[in-house]
Structure 1
Amino acid sequence: MGDTFIDAVTRRRSYYRLEDRALVDDRHLVELIDRLLMVMPTPFNVQSSRVVLLLGDHHRELWHIVAETLRKFVPEERFAATKQRIDDSFASGHGTLLFYEDSASLNALREQYPLYADRVDTWSEQSSAMLQFALWTGIETMGYGASLQHYNPIIDNSVEERWQIDRRWYLKAQMPFGAPLDTPVPRTSPIPPHGRRMVFDRVMTNCSI
């Protein structure tokens, strides 16, 4: 396993202070998305993952939608702080990746393999998570910082209407990214790795390698 991969995975962190600054040509972001969509595993190669990249005013409008949607749920005395967090941590960045799963593809998979129909949703979550992780790590290698947000489902209808998203696509996560302005909090691991994994050697004994 190459050090460059481990290094990139290790550097991938959550950043909550972002700047709207292009660290690479935006075409490289599209190329990264396309490449990962081609190679990420999906159940029975159903290729159900979908990605929407919002840049510029589109990116900022998304987070305006999020804020105005939250206004309906957040007490008035707390909304200013909520809006400030959205502006500083998400809207201030360079863009947002929206992760979707295509329900039409997944329903077709259920029909094709009825024996596994009750597992399709779990597999869909797993394949989407792998794509999210890969893109998060990929944009980190470009110098961007990001975080993973979940304002779905309360924003789903507004986002669908604004950008004419296929109604068969289900929103899974939002990933705002930009030039990082802060240093992430040091990692902590209260449970050591050897307490979270098991290793069996050739004679089938659990060892602590």
Structure 2
Amino acid sequence: MDTQLLDLMKHRRTIYNLGRNVQIPQAELYQYIKAVIRHTPSAFNSQPVRAVVLFNDNHEKLWDIVETALEEKVAPDAFLRTKAKISSFRDAFASILFYTDMDVVQAYADNPHLATYQYQEYNWAEEAQGNAQFAVWTGLEENGLGVNIQHYDPLINSAVAAQFDIPVSWQLRAEMNFGSIEKPAAEKEFMDDDQRFKVFD
């Protein structure tokens, strides 16, 4: 069997130590990210995933927003550790905001021809998110970049929406950082196969 995809999946890891030593032009990265998401599958080809790619000062503004939001929520004696964590995300080359367009989800849920599945469209939109995030993550790793995903929504939603002019119907689902790999990930552990898989032949 061809194992090219599997090999890429094995290489894909969460990288927390990211830098800005990236040689790929920003415009090329943006076009690549768009193409990967465009070709990511979604139920009924509903295409509910939206993405906002932030470079340079805009990337830093995102993590300034996160830091400000958390400073209001985290106890002062614990905030220094939180601030250091946010600074590590700010040190990355760029970030991607992944959104779900809830107008699309609702339209499919309300479609009388899909009445049997109307409550599933919300679950399928999440599947589309997972597909898109995994595909982009793996693709960036294939190109020598490190990636991590964060979830500060809904704490930052309104401030981010105001800063980047996000449509009301877009619901923030994840914040992905990427950049040069400054320190590789540790070894990954796996649970026993018999706790995860069954086969009937």
TM range (shorter): over 0.9
Please give the alpha-carbon distance, in whole angstroms, between the structure 2 residues aligned to 1:135 and 1:84: 26
Please give the alpha-carbon distance, in whole angstroms, between the structure 2 residues aligned to 1:96 and 1:2: 32
List gaps (5 residues or longer) in structure 2: none
The question of whether the paired residues in 2 share the 8 Å contact of 1:56 and 1:94 is answered with yes
SS in 1 for 2:150: coil
Q: C-alpha displacement at 1:43, in angstroms?
A: 1.5
Tell me whether 1:193 sits opposite 2:193 in the alignment: yes
Percentage identity across paired residues of the two chains: 31
The TM-score with structure 1 as length reference comes to 0.91
Q: C-alpha displacement at 1:135, in angstroms?
A: 0.3
Tell me whether 1:169 sits opposite 2:182 in the alignment: no
Q: C-alpha displacement at 1:117, in angstroms?
A: 1.5
Please give the alpha-carbon distance, in whole angstroms, between the structure 1 residues aligned to 2:2 and 2:66: 39
Give the structure 2 partner of residue 139 of structure 1. 140
List gaps (5 residues or longer) in structure 1: 202-209
Higher mean alpha-carbon deviation, 148-157 vs 79-88, is at 79-88
When the two chains are superposed, the root-mean-square deviation of aligned CA atoms in Å is: 1.2
The TM-score with structure 2 as length reference comes to 0.95
Give the structure 2 partner of residue 11 of structure 1. 11
Q: C-alpha displacement at 1:4, in angstroms?
A: 2.4
Q: C-alpha displacement at 1:182, in angstroms?
A: 0.7
Tell me whether 1:40 sits opposite 2:14 in the alignment: no
Equivalent positions of 1:24-103 (< 5 A) are: 24-88=24-88, 90-103=89-102
Aligned length: 199
Q: C-alpha displacement at 1:61, in angstroms?
A: 0.7
Equivalent positions of 1:153-168 (< 5 A) are: 153-168=154-169
The question of whether the paired residues in 1 share the 8 Å contact of 2:37 and 2:136 is answered with no
**Offset from partner CA, 1:62-83 (integer Å, 9 cap, x none):** 0010000000100011111111
Q: C-alpha displacement at 1:41, in angstroms?
A: 1.1
Q: C-alpha displacement at 1:27, in angstroms?
A: 2.3
The question of whether the paired residues in 1 share the 8 Å contact of 2:37 and 2:135 is answered with no
Q: C-alpha displacement at 1:20, in angstroms?
A: 1.6
Please give the alpha-carbon distance, in whole angstroms, between the structure 2 residues aligned to 1:21 and 1:52: 21
Please give the alpha-carbon distance, in whole angstroms, between the structure 1 residues aligned to 2:131 and 2:20: 26
Please give the alpha-carbon distance, in whole angstroms, between the structure 1 residues aligned to 2:82 and 2:23: 28
Give the structure 2 partner of residue 182 of structure 1. 183
| Letter aligned with residue 42 of structure 1 | S
Please give the alpha-carbon distance, in whole angstroms, between the structure 1 residues aligned to 2:155 and 2:128: 23
Q: C-alpha displacement at 1:21, in angstroms?
A: 2.2
| Letter aligned with residue 104 of structure 2 | S
